[in-house]
Structure 1
Amino acid sequence: MFKLGNIYYGFKLIEETEIKEIQSIARIFIHERTGAKLLHLKNDDDNKVFSIGFRTPPSDSTGVPHIIEHCVLSGSRKYTTKEPFMDMIKGSLQTFLNAMTFSDKTLYPIASRNEKDFFNLMDVYLDAVFYPKIYEIPEIFMQEGWHYEIFSEEEKIRYKGVVYNEMQGAYSSPERILGEAIGKSLYPDTCYQYSSGGNPDVIPELTYDDFLDFHRKFYHPSNSYIFLYGNGNIEKQLKHIDENYLSNFDKAQIDSTIKIQMPFSSRNEIIDYYPISSEESDENRSYLSLNFVLGKNTDPETYLMANIIGQLLVGLEAAPIKKALLDEGIGEDIFPITSGGFQPSFGIVAKNTSTDRKKQFEKIIFKTLTHLVENGIDRNLIEASINIVEYDLREASRFPTKGIIYNMLSLDSWLYDGDPLVHLQFDKTLNQLKSNIDTGYFENFIKEKMINNPHSSMVIIEPKKELGAEKQRALEEKLEEYKKSLSKEEINKLIESNRKLKRMQDTDDSEEAKATIPKLSLSDVELKAQPIPQEVIKEDKLTILNHNIFTSKIAYVDFYFDISMIDEELIPYINLLIGLLGKIDTEKRPYSELSNEIYIHTGGINFDVTCYDQKDNDSIYYPKLIVNAKAIGNNIIKMMDLISELITQSKIEDRKRIKELFQQMKSRIEMTIFDAGHTVAASRVSSYFSPSKKYIERLKGLDFYWFLSDILERFDKDSNEILANLNKVYKKAFNLNNLILSFTGDEDDFNMIKSSLDIVTEKLNKEEFKPIEYTFKEEKLNEGILSSANVQYVSKGYNFKKLGFNYSGSMKVLSTILSRDYLHNKIRAQGGAYGAGILLDTTGHIVTYSYRDPNLDKTIKVYDKMADYIDNLNISEEELTTYIIGTISQLDPATTPHMRGQIATNRYISGITQEDIQKTRDEVLATKLEDLKTFVPLIDKAMKEDYLCVLGNESMIRQNEKLFNKLVQLKK
């Protein structure tokens, strides 16, 4: 038993309380000697979490907090390899292992179900943050941050560095530039005016000495926030942290105070620019954002209201500001934008509009807000908005490692000297807000925090052709001038520092260094693959899959409709259709009322489309339209009723509304392309040789994006034909034949679902159909996809089964070695990209990818030498065991209850049995070095097929034009 006021291994217990919302006992400790703060959440979760965080407010945009986050994980006092972080990923059973830079804090969280692994990971992270090698090895800063790259006197000087290139990729996104500008506009006297990740234009101003000073100042126990979660032995954990680390330090006075921005007397305005390619139109491509500071995050009501008001005014389909702006044609997409930090803000963004609509944009917003205050807000809209936020809290944002989310929730008050438990004890605040629905509270909040709040800003982001090229020219001139300013001796000194870095990168870790990395053994690994409970019930044309899994009383229902009868030319219309459902009128009610009904009674009804490969053959695949829904208790019946209404009574006829939704759909795709560029390129290259991936590409890849762009171009002229095709797909797709219902939850809720199933099935199309055989031919397109991105996403791939090879579970170990060793070293550490990897699957796909990559042809050459690397691979049995354990962690990822139900369903559709899962696991565990060598001809032949796709910078792709069969504009 713990007692208040007692000291446990240097930690004084100052508070203990039960938090029913997250089924945990919370204990707050202070470390007597250093002042380090520690929060422990004790519960039954075996997925244990440790995190250490520091308050790290930046004083410029050099990205020093972000660069330090990378660098401290590159060698420490006890763990002396070049990258202990990567070494742990290779051979840990971790369920989460990462580090994160926020605008005012840096976090180092880990999670594992295995106690030995948990302590190993915790120790590596503690040693990394307190005793990094950065003071002894400046090359770490050069590699991870930035440096001048030059290897001969004749060469031009370039900037190189992992964070530098990562942020080049981040700043390819106009939404990133918008977010930065909002920070500058609302908090000009605080740390939030700066980019903690680093602005690529400013990163090279960071000196090595300033970098070290930042670490000296902030990375001290007195400035730390330690978090422990799960069913682990807390006394053992406290003892380890104190005896091995904190007891070595004394209390220090560290000024990491986060300054409050004093309120404005009038609205601020900022204009910034984002690059578009020379071929793109700049008409109606601006962003307008009206933003308000709402208060402080330490206040629980303000904290929740920032998200609730976002849903209420802009997020939901019934949101009045969104509707008013779209009705007036201001922007093709309207969405909310919120910021965290000490003083939360809420913004309303109009995307794809023109700057001359600014006054109208502002006028409509305030007119709508005033109307809401004077006439009252629809209580259903308020209730729906609160419900969305409540589900998010109760499901821990649907993140499989809940402890990570609880850590972040605690820090959203704790970091600002508030109560670390206030956002975890959310019931009281939610109940208070619910009781205020009819009191005028929400209207007064809008009046005070928005209408009468001068602490606000208008941010305008405009497109600028050739901005990227201009910046590139200016950078080249700057570097040329810099080189001219250097003496021959200084140039040679630079060359030598680059050679020294390259020698470090090329030199393998010594056996002594490798021995410092803690390791697990195969005896720590569970030999049996854990089955997911699944009961299969066949009923005439319907299959029911029941997953009896504890879900905290939330019932999850997924309907998988067979869409293999849809004509080939109508495939993209399936994705268009699901973008409409729930957002258009039905025969029973208008979409605004429908939206409220959905979120008042359920946790959401969502639609998706995909296809599942037969487990060992990508020529056989099963296209599915999926309806996901969730509800609690008696709302299950209402949920089933709403699903039926959506899939049988939607009215596809309102041309204006449908066009608005298509524009929004296009906008949302564009917002994700550069963040997921590696996925876009890998999916595209797979579609050249894989029938199932070609289907996916038509359904929701770049083919779909270009199809949608074309539909919008000709919508006004061809709307009759477009609506007719949508209706055709709508009537065919929701068919009872071959329908699969997947349920995840408890037995009582399953019985309720089963007894109410007729509500959905009775109105479905029951017409028999034959699957269409689509004719997708192999086609070596080898495209260079031209964009305004500052970096590349490079992918090569093929199907090894077409080359006569068979799948083996050992390929997963091969993938681990190539991704986390060879490709990481060559493409990230040496090449400066943010990431790289390779995928091999049971259907025969072998696909490589790079992420935010400054290179193009160099990366392709790295892929082409993978076979040589494996051919020459010489590793000990112990090293191979490490890779095997790291591979097992990928087979056993953290999952939510609903995810487990979905995984089991996906396996059922693909024909994957528990025996198949166990066979793969057995083959992983039995992998020998000679097994890996047998894959050399497979890799060699697959890469020699030379199927290639690159999404990236227009200028870089044009410089390498000879590599491609065709060049294609991303935005046509």
Structure 2
Amino acid sequence: MDIEKLRNYELIEKKELKDIASVGYLLSHKKTGARISVIENDDSNKVFAIGFRTPPTDSTGVAHILEHSVLCGSREFPLKDPFVELAKGSLNTFLNAFTFPDKTVYPIASTNDTDFRNLMHVYLDAVFYPNVYKNESIFRQEGWHYEYDEEGKLIINGVVYNEMKGMKSAAEDIISAESMFSLFPDNEYGVESGGDPDYIPSLTYEQFLDFHRSYYHPSNSYIYLYGNSDMLSDLEFIDRKYLSRFNHLDIDSSIKLQKPFSQPVKVMKQCALSQGENADENTFFSVNFALEEALDTKTRLALEMIDYALVGNPGAPLRKILVEQGVVGDVSSRLETSLRQPYYTIVGKDAAMSMETRFGQLITETIESVAKKGFDKNALRAAIDSSEFRYREADFGRYPKGLMYGITMFDSWLYDDSKPFDYIEADDAYEFLRENIETGYFEKLVRKYFIGNKHKSYVCVRPTEGVAENKEKELRKALDNIQASLSPAEKKAIDKMIEGLNKFRDTPDSEAAIKSLPMLTRDELTREIEPVTNDISDVDGVPFIFHDIDTRKIGYLRLAFKTDKIGTQYLPYVGLLRDVLSMVDTKEHRYEDLNPMIDLVMGGFNVSTELYSLYHEKEKFIPTFEVKAKYFDARSGEAFGLIREILLESKFSDLRRIKEVLVEIKNSMQSSFLGAGHSIAAARAMASVSKQSAFSDLIQGISYYRFICDLLNDYDTNAGIMTENLKYVSELIFRSENMIVDYTGDNSEADLLKERIASFKEELYTEKHRPVSQSIDLVRNNEGLITSGQVVFVCRAGRYDRHGLTFNGALKVLKVFLGYDYLWMNVRVKGGAYGVMNAFTPAGTGYFVSYRDPNLTKTVDVYEGAAEAVSNFEADERAMTKLIIGTISDMDLPLTPSAKGSRSFNSFMTGITEEDLQKIRDEVLDCTPEDIRKTAEYIREMMSDNKLVVVGNEKLIRDNEKLFGKVENLL
């Protein structure tokens, strides 16, 4: 990039970023002082982000509500929801916005040059010229507003309001937030930037606008560009269209420092207790340490290694002693380094209140012991090697790596304008850490930050009976008092607000507004599919699937074992085997040594259960038990040796250890009921219409959760048969006739792997077992599954593949229309739910599910109206093209090397061919409004099954008990 051509920017620093094969530029906009960082390289997945320091002063959630609201129309793009129009009509590879405790960031990404510029243009216009000043209804819709329920009673609704009601339901979320608040009572980190439902309704429209005026200005902005874009052109565009139109302002958005405590503080909080839940077994504790500001790269990484060695691996000393002594059921930790004042938290779960003091004592004693005797050196080596592997691999799944680099840059840049690159360039940090394993360096950091640190807090969150009910009653009473005291003028103002909000929602965007949004054409979309890369061979009868892809000397191995010959009564044990492998002793290693060994040798190790629907055979599927590992080629032999050891030499005789694992499984699943209730509701509802989903339910769903609870409820009685069954299913699974090998990497490594597989095959179990046929029963009842949540997740599911209806590309386009039009408008925009999703699978099933929803029957009614809405679907060429672009965008997300291999393996397992994939893509690209209208029949068939599962708030479920065949408390 020729910086000399940029007259309106000053170059502060140019830096070669060798580790990420890039050149970094730090610039300042001369007129406004806007800060700009550019990372230039050959990555076609380009990223733009603009962020602002947005320090909150209270818990009204103003920063969060503004993040939602600025994306609801702007000066040049006066649509009601350009964000949604971009989501369904651009080739974005990422499109979202984030509210952090002290900053708000708006990132986009795309591999298409034109699309990238369009997205950047819309986002810049949104943050600098939002329509929030012209239309108060945006604030009311996204933040909070009064409305009346069916009985005429005053209630509060709003997207952020309901989102945060969901966030404030779980003890885990509460203790996470309170741990930070407790350390920083006097600065921005002592309040909830996302908003607390108790305080959100106190935010006024004027305060909301003042926040935008105060902080959304170029002089308070941080602009980030990444990739192979024409950076000169992008920077000139940003200057010409936006930055140069502003003058410099002195904006005080600094983040205050919390003064150190003279003594640790204690905080006690309550959370809702579900019916049947025992408060004495479900209390949460945390011990929290404030760290010093502006951690350098080496110290930041060193603290990550300390976290791993203390708590982060299954055999870490702090985790082990707290669990083994019965102080808590499970332990987690968090090192938060994205703030000006970082902090470290250790959380104990499932504890008795009487253990509060002991929890803090054991943490102090264990940390002091480690500082005195020294860390386990292998644990430190494992932590360093594992961290460096992730750093070198730079595989962030669906997230563009340029996005993750940018978010990481904000962690240092936000607090020091001269340091955007500190945390993305490790330089010699990993080598430094290795050299200091034996020098006492890590123990010195422990003494500095944890021993004698008085800036410390103890937090306890205790489930208490009646908390949720009393909170609801208090809110109801407060709203009744407000309603009773309203003057005629105030009633009229509320009515006018509701009328204005409904008019805003119901009025379609004008033709001019719709056309203001730039858009690609169908001709700019690639018609050909990405080819499948399966090189299929066998090793002594074992299928070997190879994907010859450049992985930069990293091997991605998958050993899949079919589980279709295991009797139904043993299927839950397949799930349990998945969850205990690598968590128990083997013949060679104790479990506390095994995980550091895994992390020392491999960059990743995962055991999972998968199900592959056969594309051309209705209702048939292949279930598998899979081990996935990734490692540097140089360590492939060691890696395979460890995998062999874990699969064939794991010991199930340590009953105490397995009980600890069972408690961890139970805790993890209970957390998902509150945080990912939509996934739970959808999986359970699908289990009532699909044998594949019912199979999944037995090994990883609600049925599996009940199986875990039953084991724990009478563990001493169940333990013996449990260990026998674990051994039995191991012998049934790990057999050569079940095995399929999948490998992504280098050709020469594939040849070495074949030799290892041939040897490994001879060690697998061969004892004959009587063949069995699996009999999978569908879930019979509609279910209301109660949690301590304040909102619900509502799912309807069914089969559409009756009467000759088959999967086609139009269903993919339908998903975009429903997700960003009909369902979005009625469930989120009008209903106030935080989100709503839908799916139509090639296996002939489909579902609708809401996320953090304040409504139950209203949402069901919306689902019921979907078929009619689709049957009346109309779209001109522009609108139809927009839906097609959004569909292709989802289909064409850039894939990492490992993801490319997984895509190809999936095609092998399901039997979907390149011809099938091309046919689907053609059907998407050629989709017409008539094709969409025809899918109404699919929805009618799906809805005719009338399968409903709702997860969440007890009152909403009990009030609608007639909808369910079964109502049950999940916790």
**1:912 maps to what in 2?**
912
Return the letter of the residue paired with 1:107: V
**1:384 maps to what in 2?**
382
State the secondary structure of the residue aligned to 1:265: coil
Kept in 2: contact 1:9–1:238 (CA 8 A): no
Structure 1 residue 194: deviation in Å? 0.8
**1:322 maps to what in 2?**
319
Q: Map residues 398-437 of structure 1 onto 2, 5 A cutoff.
A: 398-400=396-398, 401-417=400-416, 419-437=419-437
**1:90 maps to what in 2?**
88
Whole-angstrom distance in 1 between the partners of 2:267 and 2:326: 23
Kept in 2: contact 1:50–1:109 (CA 8 A): yes
Kept in 2: contact 1:409–1:423 (CA 8 A): yes
State the secondary structure of the residue aligned to 2:277: coil
Q: Map residues 804-815 of structure 1 onto 2, 5 A cutoff.
A: 804-815=804-815
Kept in 2: contact 1:618–1:691 (CA 8 A): no
Q: Is 1:515 paired with 2:515?
A: yes
- Select which of 56, 59, 64 maps to 1:58: 56
Cα RMSD for the two superposed structures? 1.6
Whole-angstrom distance in 2 between the partners of 1:562 and 1:943: 33
Whole-angstrom distance in 1 between the partners of 2:458 and 2:950: 37
- Select which of 110, 119, 127 maps to 1:121: 119
1:542-575 CA distance string (max 9 Å, x none):
1111112222322111111111122111111111
Return the letter of the residue paired with 1:87: E
Q: Map residues 218-367 of structure 1 onto 2, 5 A cutoff.
A: 218-339=215-336, 340-367=338-365
1:79-127 CA distance string (max 9 Å, x none):
0110000011111111110011111111111011111110110000000
Structure 1 residue 264: deviation in Å? 1.6
Kept in 1: contact 2:534–2:908 (CA 8 A): no
**2:939 maps to what in 1?**
939
Return the letter of the residue paired with 1:132: P
Q: Is 1:726 paired with 2:723?
A: no
State the secondary structure of the residue aligned to 1:596: helix
Structure 1 residue 873: deviation in Å? 1.7
How many residue pairs match? The answer is 968
Whole-angstrom distance in 2 between the partners of 1:259 and 1:862: 47
Return the letter of the residue paired with 2:401: K
Kept in 1: contact 2:605–2:630 (CA 8 A): yes
State the secondary structure of the residue aligned to 1:802: coil
- Select which of 31, 35, 38 maps to 2:36: 38
State the secondary structure of the residue aligned to 2:640: helix
Whole-angstrom distance in 2 between the partners of 1:199 and 1:787: 20
Kept in 2: contact 1:541–1:739 (CA 8 A): no
Whole-angstrom distance in 1 between the partners of 2:549 and 2:766: 31
**1:132 maps to what in 2?**
130
1:433-475 CA distance string (max 9 Å, x none):
1111010011111111111211111111110122111111000
Whole-angstrom distance in 2 between the partners of 1:772 and 1:604: 34
**1:194 maps to what in 2?**
191
After alignment, is 402-411 or 524-533 more displaced? 524-533
Kept in 1: contact 2:386–2:603 (CA 8 A): yes
Return the letter of the residue paired with 1:485: S
State the secondary structure of the residue aligned to 2:306: helix
Task: List gaps (5 residues or longer) in structure 2.
Answer: none
Whole-angstrom distance in 1 between the partners of 2:285 and 2:129: 46
**2:526 maps to what in 1?**
526
1:105-163 CA distance string (max 9 Å, x none):
111110111111101100000000000000010000000000111389x7111101000
Kept in 2: contact 1:33–1:251 (CA 8 A): yes
Kept in 1: contact 2:801–2:938 (CA 8 A): no
Whole-angstrom distance in 2 between the partners of 1:7 and 1:260: 40
Whole-angstrom distance in 1 between the partners of 2:630 and 2:936: 47
Structure 1 residue 534: deviation in Å? 2.2
Return the letter of the residue paired with 2:307: G
Kept in 2: contact 1:318–1:381 (CA 8 A): no
Return the letter of the residue paired with 1:147: H
Structure 1 residue 767: deviation in Å? 5.0
In structure 2, relative to structure 1, the CA distance for the partners of 1:316 and 1:137 (3 Å cut) is same
1:311-353 CA distance string (max 9 Å, x none):
1100112311111111211111111123231122112111000
Whole-angstrom distance in 2 between the partners of 1:927 and 1:770: 50
After alignment, is 6-15 or 573-582 more displaced? 6-15
Whole-angstrom distance in 2 between the partners of 1:94 and 1:734: 42
In structure 2, relative to structure 1, the CA distance for the partners of 1:909 and 1:297 (3 Å cut) is farther
State the secondary structure of the residue aligned to 1:837: strand
Structure 1 residue 307: deviation in Å? 2.1
Whole-angstrom distance in 2 between the partners of 1:943 and 1:589: 53
Kept in 1: contact 2:798–2:941 (CA 8 A): no
Whole-angstrom distance in 2 between the partners of 1:618 and 1:187: 58
Whole-angstrom distance in 2 between the partners of 1:855 and 1:9: 55
Q: Is 1:818 paired with 2:821?
A: no
**1:666 maps to what in 2?**
666
Whole-angstrom distance in 2 between the partners of 1:35 and 1:543: 61
**1:100 maps to what in 2?**
98
After alignment, is 263-272 or 830-839 more displaced? 263-272
**1:458 maps to what in 2?**
458
Structure 1 residue 941: deviation in Å? 3.1
**1:629 maps to what in 2?**
629
Return the letter of the residue paired with 1:665: I
Kept in 2: contact 1:666–1:709 (CA 8 A): yes
Q: Map residues 424-573 of structure 1 onto 2, 5 A cutoff.
A: 424-573=424-573
**2:675 maps to what in 1?**
675
Structure 1 residue 511: deviation in Å? 1.0
Return the letter of the residue paired with 1:495: D
Kept in 2: contact 1:618–1:692 (CA 8 A): no
In structure 2, relative to structure 1, the CA distance for the partners of 1:396 and 1:670 (3 Å cut) is farther
State the secondary structure of the residue aligned to 2:450: helix
After alignment, is 682-691 or 780-789 more displaced? 780-789
Kept in 2: contact 1:550–1:746 (CA 8 A): yes
Kept in 2: contact 1:9–1:239 (CA 8 A): no
1:28-72 CA distance string (max 9 Å, x none):
111111111111111111111011111111111111111000000
Whole-angstrom distance in 2 between the partners of 1:760 and 1:502: 66
Structure 1 residue 21: deviation in Å? 1.3
Q: Map residues 601-750 of structure 1 onto 2, 5 A cutoff.
A: 601-617=601-617, 619-750=619-750
Return the letter of the residue paired with 1:584: V
Whole-angstrom distance in 1 between the partners of 2:6 and 2:959: 63
Return the letter of the residue paired with 1:381: A
After alignment, is 301-310 or 579-588 more displaced? 301-310
After alignment, is 666-675 or 656-665 more displaced? 666-675
Whole-angstrom distance in 1 between the partners of 2:759 and 2:314: 25
Return the letter of the residue paired with 1:141: F
TM-score by length of 2: 0.98
Whole-angstrom distance in 2 between the partners of 1:343 and 1:789: 31
1:405-431 CA distance string (max 9 Å, x none):
100111110011151111111132222
State the secondary structure of the residue aligned to 1:651: coil
Whole-angstrom distance in 2 between the partners of 1:793 and 1:771: 40
Whole-angstrom distance in 2 between the partners of 1:637 and 1:79: 57
Whole-angstrom distance in 2 between the partners of 1:901 and 1:748: 17
In structure 2, relative to structure 1, the CA distance for the partners of 1:356 and 1:567 (3 Å cut) is same
Whole-angstrom distance in 1 between the partners of 2:436 and 2:618: 55
Whole-angstrom distance in 2 between the partners of 1:759 and 1:54: 58
Return the letter of the residue paired with 1:168: K
Kept in 1: contact 2:694–2:778 (CA 8 A): no
Whole-angstrom distance in 2 between the partners of 1:504 and 1:329: 57
Whole-angstrom distance in 1 between the partners of 2:233 and 2:426: 30
Structure 1 residue 541: deviation in Å? 2.9
Return the letter of the residue paired with 2:957: I
